[in-house]
Structure 1
Amino acid sequence: MRSNELDFLINWGDTDMAGIVYYPNYFKWFDIAGHQFFRSCNLSPLSLEKERGIILPMIDARCTFEKPLFYDDIITVYTTVKEVNNKTIELNHEIFRQKERTGSGYELRGWVEKGEGGIKAVSIPKDIRALLEEDLHTTAQEVKPQYNA
């Protein structure tokens, strides 16, 4: 299955009073990594909406926190397609500080058509399914705007 990796720098505002990363930031990083994953497939969420009327709403998310992260740590989020169903895509995320895994989780996103009558889940086209199931790994390291996330 297709995968992507993305680096982040832990900023002071990402931490709590104990100096440890505040847990909701994992979900923020999952979301950013998920959007970057779709961009790496040439499926930018903005382009999907403008060109196809498709949005990718979050249906479910979960995270397991394994080790604390601290200010100025550099982390890598590895995102992998776990499963592509008829109308949903499940992405797995693993967070590493160097070679040490500090947390993992997933997000389940719907393939949803947005129209005048509202929104409705629709089948993922075969060409998109093939793209997501392709065995390809990409790295977003040329430009690092995510260091400021």
Structure 2
Amino acid sequence: MPHFHSSDYQVSFGDCDPAGIAYYPNMFRWVDKTYHDWLRGFGGHAHLCAELGAVGLGLIDLKAQFRSPLRDGDHLQVVMIGMDWGTRSLLISYQGLVGERLAFEAQETRGVFVQKDGRLSAAPMAALRALAGQ
């Protein structure tokens, strides 16, 4: 399966409950770290914000679905598997894999936020898309 970027983690005791169900905040943390690791390939969050005149490349929406247990010591790979570039948002799809086994899926919607008339607003994604070579 093609992917845009991936990050690796060692699952530790406390990342999941005794049944191996990953705590949702951990899935969200792993996804967020993978996203920011991907941004580093283009100079990182702060650099891109400066280039775009943005306050931040922020999260608009996030959801995750548990698929199979994770255990202490598992090697988890979080993979960005899809990007859907909208006019003012970017939908990114992820998979959390232990080997070939799907542990979770996640989707997040991101935006480029700028200060306009004293308020935050979502800017067009075209400039970020160009900087990311997409």
Shorter-chain TM band: 0.7 to 0.9
CA distance in 2, matches of 1:48, 1:116: 22
Q: 1:41-120, aligned counterparts within 5 Å?
A: 42-54=42-54, 55-114=56-115, 117-120=118-121
CA distance in 1, matches of 2:4, 2:37: 11
Unpaired runs of 5+ in structure 2? Answer: none
Sequence identity (%): 24
CA contact (8 A) 1:111 1:123 kept: yes
Letter in 2 for 1:52: L
Shift of 1:35: 1.1
CA distance in 1, matches of 2:64, 2:3: 21
Shift of 1:130: 4.0
Shift of 1:43: 4.7
* Alignment match, 1:15: 16
* Cα distance change on mapping 1:80 and 1:39 into 2, 3 Å: farther
Q: 1:29-40, aligned counterparts within 5 Å?
A: 29-40=30-41
Q: 1:101-140, aligned counterparts within 5 Å?
A: 101-114=102-115, 117-126=118-127, 128-130=128-130, 132=132, 134=134
Unpaired runs of 5+ in structure 1? Answer: 135-149
TM-score (norm 2): 0.83
Which is bigger in relative contact order (C-alpha 8 A, separation at least 6)? 1
